[in-house]
Amino acid sequence: MLMLVLLAVGIFWLYRFNTALKATPEEARKFSPKRWTQEQLKEAYEHAQKHPIDFSKHVPPAQKRRYIIVGGSGLVGGDIVLHLLSRGQPPSSIRILDFAPLSRDDMLSSPAVTCDFVKTDITSAPSVTSAFSKPWPPSVSHLPLTVFHTAALIRPQDRHPLLYPLVSNVNLTGTLNILTTASQPHHNCDIFIATSSASVSILPPKFFPYYPWQSHPQSYFQLCNESDFSLPLRPHNKFFANYAVSKAAAERAICAANTPSFRTGCLRPGNAIYGQKTDPLVGNILRQGSYVAYVPQVIQSFISSQNVSLAHLQFEAALLPSSPTPPPCAGRPFVITDSGPPITFRDMALACETLSDAPFTYSELPPIVIHAIAHVMEFWSLLLARFPTLTKLGLKEPSGPIGMLQPAVLNVGIHSVVDDSNAKKGVGEGGIGYTPVVSTLEGIVRQIAEFNRDVRAGRVEGVKLREGIKEKVGMVGEEVRVVA
Ligand SMILES: *[C@@H]1O[C@H](CO)[C@@H](O)[C@H](O)[C@H]1NC(C)=O
Ligand SMILES: *[C@@H]1O[C@H](CO)[C@@H](O)[C@H](O)[C@H]1NC(C)=O
Ligand SMILES: CC(=O)N[C@H]1CO[C@H](CO)[C@@H](O)[C@@H]1O
């Protein structure tokens, strides 16, 4: 009898917990009351096809300066390079520091290939020093230097201090190497801007204990702003993952280095960055052609990598040494996001399902199953970290999307909305004059349109057109999407 009662209580608890995890807190819904529809997506897609955006109109004017972009082969760094070129900075004034060579199609087919590229391991101080010390062409060598530091190693799945060195090497030691080198006066660097993350401010929600009368777990909705920056650094377990710990520490070091002659600042894009076929989110699921959503109903702010890049350039414009005293935006972080309302992961999946020309399947699992898998995966990865000899027996760290599914990812998979009102203020009012012109709807739809063009052109390895999609060539250079 007692067993039956316990069983019933257990089932009831699981049922309530599952329902609570699916809940959307009212505060979150207020920010994004409407879900995307197929009609809306198709309309936005058509609009995007007909109205390409000229980014060069939005970026601040060219400067007589030199540029070092650390992580310049990547998502945000690559966009910064392209935006700098589009506003007329000569390639000779741009140097890319990255571990990986250029690989983005849009970079390989642009003057970016003529920018100086220095293969750099930022975890090694000598490697960074030699990348900075390499001589510049005489036409630019006398100009002041701006450094954009965008390189990061993202392992959102780790939260245990045992695994901290995996991210802190690049994200903290690497950042300090760049900061120390850049601040040496002979490099003539007076502006240093780094990419941080809106997730720095996220506190792990309280999933346990869960009481059956709670409509959702505690702290299931959070606003991301910069208010944590003025408080002492939180202890490790008050961050969603090791990644955010390392980002927060790096941010503090960069902002503390701010002086009138070496002006610094950090940008916290939030939450997910999309924009390239190689990005870990939209690009990744388009290429994979399938997506199991871990937190389908969760409302989050997204940001296009192009808007992230734009914010870096606007921050630079704000920090230009036109006056001897730095503006109030110097030496602090700003959160930034797309314009328009935040979206859910299910919205993103619907966009891919509706618009991708490649095969795409979408599925969801009950949240308690997701949580159970996450704890098993974490147990597994910690077991291997504690007993490395197990790896010699051929046991491996869980990889792929399932390896990412650990409790830390669920810590950040909460309803979170970015409040970028500080960044949007004018420079005189303490902001950087951030102006995202396009919403997440337009941004994601444009990315899918580009992906479709790449698939048609055979530029996405291993991805073919979906059955039922025919190719039809319209006006010169323009492809028209036809669904049979
Ligand atoms: C900033 O975010 C925190 C955490 O969500 C919140 O408590 C605080 O009220 C926010 N501050 C402002 C000015 O919105
Ligand atoms: C913001 O991102 C969207 C999506 O990529 C883009 O269309 C828009 O032009 C960006 N805004 C600016 C000012 O570059
Ligand atoms: C880009 C880079 O330097 N990545 C390194 C970050 O740290 C990890 C672990 O220490 C290395 O495996 C990466 O190569």
Side-chain half-sphere CA neighbours of 80 within 13 A: 32
Q: Ligand 3 center to residue 170 CA distance, Å?
A: 6
Q: Is position 10 within any domain?
A: no
CB of residue 125 inside a 6 A radius of ligand 2: no
Q: Is position 191 within any domain?
A: yes
Measured from the Cα of 443, ligand 2's closest atom is 4
pLDDT value for 483: 30
Mutate which of 282, 304, 315 for ligand 2 pocket (most atoms within 8 A of beta carbon):
304
> Whose C-alpha lies nearest to ligand 1, atom 9?
223
Q: Is position 374 within any domain?
A: no
> Whose C-alpha lies nearest to ligand 3, atom 11?
166
Q: Is position 433 within any domain?
A: yes
Mutate which of 55, 279, 337 for ligand 2 pocket (most atoms within 8 A of beta carbon):
55
What pLDDT band is residue 478 in, cutting at 50, 70 and 90? Answer: very low
CB of residue 269 inside a 6 A radius of ligand 2: no
Nearest residue to 463 (alpha-carbon basis) of 353, 361, 359: 359
180/172: higher pLDDT = 180
Residues with CB under 6 A from ligand 1: 222-223, 225, 227, 419
Mean pLDDT of the chain: 92
Q: Ligand 3 center to residue 160 CA distance, Å?
A: 18
The model's pLDDT over 250-272, given as tens digits with 9 standing for 90+, comes to: 999 999 999 999 999 999 999 88
Whether 449 contacts 456, CB under 8 Å:
no
Q: Ligand 3 center to residue 247 CA distance, Å?
A: 15
Q: Residue 269: left if φ>0, alpha if ψ -120 to 50, beta else—which one? A: beta
Q: Where are the beta strands (DSSP E) in 46-102?
A: 66-70, 94-98
Ligand nearest to the CA of 416: 1
Q: Is position 395 within any domain?
A: no
Measured from the Cα of 151, ligand 3's closest atom is 1
Measured from the Cα of 444, ligand 2's closest atom is 4
Measured from the Cα of 223, ligand 1's closest atom is 5
Look up the CATH number of the domain holding residue 35: 3.40.50.720
* Triad 299, 301, 307: Cα angle to 5°: 160
Q: Residue 302: left if φ>0, alpha if ψ -120 to 50, beta else—which one? A: beta
Query: Based on the structure, what is the number of domains in the chain?
Result: 1
Mutate which of 170, 178, 243 for ligand 3 pocket (most atoms within 8 A of beta carbon):
170
Mutate which of 169, 173, 175, 243 for ligand 3 pocket (most atoms within 8 A of beta carbon):
169
pLDDT value for 166: 83
Nearest residue to 385 (alpha-carbon basis) of 155, 158, 171: 158
Report the sign of the C-alpha dihedral through residues 166, 167, 173, 174, in that order.
Answer: positive
Q: Is position 382 within any domain?
A: no
Q: Ligand 1 center to residue 235 CA distance, Å?
A: 19
pLDDT value for 171: 62
The burial class, CB within 10 Å (0-12 / 13-18 / 19+), for 6 is exposed
Token pair in block for residue 221: 């909705």
Give the domain range for residue 460: 26-363+402-479
Q: Is the pLDDT of residue 366 over 80?
A: yes
Q: Is position 396 within any domain?
A: no
CB of residue 346 inside a 6 A radius of ligand 2: no
The model's pLDDT over 72-112, given as tens digits with 9 standing for 90+, comes to: 999 999 999 999 999 999 999 999 999 999 999 999 999 99
Token pair in block for residue 474: 């319209």
Q: Are strands 189-195 and 263-269 parallel, antiparallel or unpaired?
A: parallel
Helix 125-133 crosses helix 175-182 at what angle (to 10 degrees)?
40
Percent helix, strand, coil in the chain (nearest 5)?
A: 45, 15, 40
Measured from the Cα of 170, ligand 3's closest atom is 6
d(CA 344, CA 440): 11
Side-chain half-sphere CA neighbours of 32 within 13 A: 27
Q: Ligand 3 center to residue 290 CA distance, Å?
A: 29
Mutate which of 339, 438, 448 for ligand 2 pocket (most atoms within 8 A of beta carbon):
438
Measured from the Cα of 121, ligand 3's closest atom is 3
Nearest residue to 80 (alpha-carbon basis) of 226, 250, 195, 244: 195
The model's pLDDT over 315-347, given as tens digits with 9 standing for 90+, comes to: 999 999 888 899 999 999 999 999 999 999 999
Token pair in block for residue 260: 């009138």
pLDDT value for 470: 57
Q: Is position 386 within any domain?
A: no
Q: Is the pLDDT of residue 438 over 80?
A: no
The model's pLDDT over 14-64, given as tens digits with 9 standing for 90+, comes to: 999 999 999 999 999 999 999 999 999 999 999 999 998 887 788 999 999
pLDDT value for 481: 32
Name the pTM for this structure.
Answer: 0.90
Q: Ligand 3 center to residue 437 CA distance, Å?
A: 35
Residues with CB under 6 A from ligand 3: 99, 121-123, 153, 166, 169-170
Q: Ligand 1 center to residue 223 CA distance, Å?
A: 6
Q: Ligand 2 center to residue 448 CA distance, Å?
A: 14
